[in-house]
Amino acid sequence: MQLQRNYTLPNCTLTLEGMSDPSQGITPGAPMSILVNAVCQFLGQKQPLRGGSDFFNSLVVTASSYAQEQLSGIRSQLSQQGLVQMQRLDNGLHEVAVYTEDQAGDEPTQREELSTVQLFDLVEAIDQFLADGTALPEMKLAIAPLARRDVPSELPIAQRAAAPALGAAGLAIAAAALFALPAPEITRPVDSEGNQIEALSETEGDETAAGDAPGEAELDTPDNLVTDEIVIGAIQADLDNQLNAAWTESLGTTEDLTYRVTTSEDGTILGYEPLDELSREYSSKTPLLNETYIPAEGGSVGDQPLAQFRVSFIGDRDLEVEPFTVEDLSSSVGDRTQATLTTGDDLDSEADDSDKPDLAQSDADSAEAEEEDSEADDNSDSEASSGSDVTESLVEAESLSATETEELTTTLYNVIDETWVKSPSFDGALEYRVQVSPDGDVVGFEALTADGRDFASDIPLGELKTSAKPNQVANFKVLFKSSGVLEVSPWDGF
């Protein structure tokens, strides 16, 4: 039975004529196993290129190799061998020459000059043939990378050796220079040089107020406060920048948190005190804890000048830093006889966990809230998905054999090709996995890309799908191209 396959592109049409293998029987879906004639017609060319099986085999190999040469810029000489040869002309066109076996090396029997568009339409037509399992299924195109010796070097050997040579010379010079330097002397720091911080306020006794947490000193007004407005303004700006840079995480509350912060004259945070119970509860969430300087064991600040500021974290979004005046300090001492000030010494000392704020409970409450938010999001997602298109699904069934699947390839191609009448509104190609019953009915499909789900209305799979649940199915890979080309191949290949 005479068979014909056409692969049509805007500038090139490839036509194959042949017949099926008589030993396998004559059936409507039998593949073309024997090639009799191959015709390649280009737009604007009067005479087509034509030949038999040897001509077509050489055309497939030469066109693919020549296209790779044009894209990569690396000549492989494969396009200059065989019955069909290609070369680039000085005018930018591409010459295709066809020889016969007994005339190799002489003048070609056929010669055509192709534009770049015609060349790549020819390559696309060959790609469609290779993806078509119903035409010469035993023919495969072997593609292999070029050998390393075929790739020309971009730089001469002198330039390639220059960089390693300069690096080795520089390393040798640096090693010689460092060898000549004397070894550094290591001196142990004197105790007086290691004193960095002391308690921020002097207390009349060593005992803390009843109920105070360990590591906190009674609130008092230092006698060595900085009074110069210019110096206070500079410290204020530095403190504002320091805390803004360190404040990178949410505090976990929208309420305002206020603290009294003590700094040295150079802006180093030496201690802080929450001014209300809520501020004390969330103090570990603020950047004050990490920015407070922790001195070496036994260190103190001596009699250096100190500055105090009111730091407010407003609504978990804004930071406000204002100087504490002497009147503010006196008022705060009179109003809160039990108030305490956290210092760097307190942060460095070991305290009883039972007297500290229950941060574990706070973390647990936060985790529970996050879990509730996550469950709410999951419920929202499931509600959204319940309203989506449910026609896209696959059937759980055993797969048909490779032979049975190949026999259904043509059936599926014809069914989709007849019903695909809507003009594509997408670019590129849509990929799907399609399941077909032994009777040739579409029983399931699934988009393999996001565009496949977005443009499902442009293709007829939803209309063709039936509600049947067969025990066996054939799986196919189907491509809908924006150019109008349809490709159908078995899921596991031919």
Structure tokens at 290: 């990490």
DSSP for residue 350: -
Residue 368's pLDDT is 52
Strands (E), 25-121: 34-42, 49-51, 84-88, 94-98, 110-114
- pLDDT tens-digit map of 305-342: 888 899 998 877 788 899 876 566 555 544 443 334 55
- Residue 92, phi then psi, degrees to nearest 5: 90, -5
Q: How many CB atoms lie within 10 A of CB 40?
A: 27
Phi-psi region of 233 (alpha: psi -120 to 50; beta: other; left: phi over 0): alpha
- Mean pLDDT value across residues 219-230: 71
Residue 333's pLDDT is 45
Residue with tokens 């349809």: 486
Reply yes or no on whether the pLDDT at 199 is more than 60: no
Residue 44's pLDDT is 85
Question: How far is it, in rounded angstroms, from Cα 195 to Cα 259?
Answer: 26
Residue 467's pLDDT is 85
The percent of residues in the chain predicted with pLDDT above 90, rounded, is 15
- Mean pLDDT value across residues 91-106: 78
Question: How far is it, in rounded angstroms, from Cα 113 to Cα 97?
Answer: 9
Domain locations in the chain as residue ranges = 2-149, 193-351, 398-490
Which residues have CB under 8 Å from 18's CB, separation 6+?
A: 2, 3, 4, 32, 33, 34, 35, 36, 37, 135, 136
Q: How many CB atoms lie within 10 A of CB 99?
A: 19
Which pTM does this prediction carry? 0.33
- Mean pLDDT taken over the chain: 76
Question: How far is it, in rounded angstroms, from Cα 15 to Cα 17?
Answer: 7
Question: How far is it, in rounded angstroms, from Cα 393 to Cα 405?
Answer: 20
Question: How far is it, in rounded angstroms, from Cα 126 to Cα 38?
Answer: 12
Sheet containing 216-218: give its strands across: 216-218, 340-343, 269-274, 257-264, 306-314, 318-323
